[in-house]
Amino acid sequence: MQCGLCTSSCPLGDAMEYPPRRIIAEAWNNSLERVIHSPSVWMCVGCYTCSLRCPREIDLTDTVWPAVRDYALQEGIQPPPELRTAFQNLYLYGNVFGYSPRKRLDWARNLEVTVRDLSKSPEPVEVLWLVGCYPSYHPRNQVVARDMARILTALGVRWGILGKEERALGDCDRLFGEEGLFEMLVENNRRLFERFKFEKIVLLDPHAYRALEKFYPRFGASFPAEHYTTFLASRLDQIRPWLKKPINARVTYHDNCCVGRRCLCFDPPRQLLQAIPGVELVEMKRNREHALCCGGGGGGMWLDAFITEHGGRRLSDVRIQHALETGADILAVSCPFELSRFEDAVKVARAEDRLKVRDIIELLADSMGLGEGGGR
- Cβ neighbour number for residue 104 with a 10 Å cutoff: 25
Question: Shortest Cβ distance from residue 164 to another protein (Å)?
Answer: 11
319 binds another protein (CB under 8 A): no
Contact track, another protein, 296-315, x by CB under 8 A: --------xx--xx----x-
Determine the Cα–Cα distance for residues 195 and 176; give it in Å rounded to an integer: 29
Determine the Cα–Cα distance for residues 349 and 331; give it in Å rounded to an integer: 14
Stretch that binds another protein, among 2-10, 96-104, 143-151, 362-370 (CB under 8 A): 96-104
Backbone angles phi, psi at 249, to 5 degrees: -155, 155
Question: Shortest Cβ distance from residue 254 to another protein (Å)?
Answer: 20
Return the residue of 42, 48, 65, 87 that touches another protein, per CB under 8 A.
87
State which residue, 5 or 77, has the beta carbon closest to another protein: 77
Select from 168, 112, 111, 115 the least CA-distant residue to 137.
168
Contact 5, 54 (CB under 8 A): yes
183 binds another protein (CB under 8 A): yes
Question: Shortest Cβ distance from residue 81 to another protein (Å)?
Answer: 7
State which residue, 31 or 88, has the beta carbon closest to another protein: 88
Bin 163: left if φ > 0, else alpha if -120 < ψ < 50, else beta. Answer: left
Stretch that binds another protein, among 92-100, 157-165, 213-221, 240-248 (CB under 8 A): 92-100
State which residue, 17 or 82, has the beta carbon closest to another protein: 82
State which residue, 137 or 209, has the beta carbon closest to another protein: 137
Question: Shortest Cβ distance from residue 332 to another protein (Å)?
Answer: 21
- Cβ neighbour number for residue 311 with a 10 Å cutoff: 21
Q: Which residues contact 109 (CB under 8 A, 6 or more apart)?
A: none
Contact 255, 263 (CB under 8 A): no
Contact 92, 164 (CB under 8 A): no
139 binds another protein (CB under 8 A): yes
Binding residues for another protein restricted to 195-254, rule: CB under 8 A: none
Question: Shortest Cβ distance from residue 279 to another protein (Å)?
Answer: 28
Backbone angles phi, psi at 256, to 5 degrees: -75, 155
Bin 298: left if φ > 0, else alpha if -120 < ψ < 50, else beta. Answer: left
DSSP bridge pairs for 125: 198
81 binds another protein (CB under 8 A): yes
Q: Which residues contact 31 (CB under 8 A, 6 or more apart)?
A: none
Question: Shortest Cβ distance from residue 84 to another protein (Å)?
Answer: 5
99 binds another protein (CB under 8 A): yes
Distances in Å between the Cα of 106 and the Cα atoms of 34, 100, 103, 136 are 46, 11, 5, 7
Select from 80, 67, 85, 262 the least CA-distant residue to 179.
67
Stretch that binds another protein, among 75-83, 149-157, 201-209, 355-363 (CB under 8 A): 75-83
State which residue, 7 or 340, has the beta carbon closest to another protein: 340
State which residue, 143 or 152, has the beta carbon closest to another protein: 143
Contact track, another protein, 344-373, x by CB under 8 A: x--xx-------------------------
109 binds another protein (CB under 8 A): no
3-state secondary structure of 276: coil
State which residue, 304 or 338, has the beta carbon closest to another protein: 304
The residues that touch another protein, with contacts defined as CB under 8 A, are: 70, 73-74, 76, 78-79, 81-82, 84, 87-88, 91-93, 97-100, 102, 137-140, 178-181, 183-184, 304-305, 308-309, 314, 317, 340, 344, 347-348
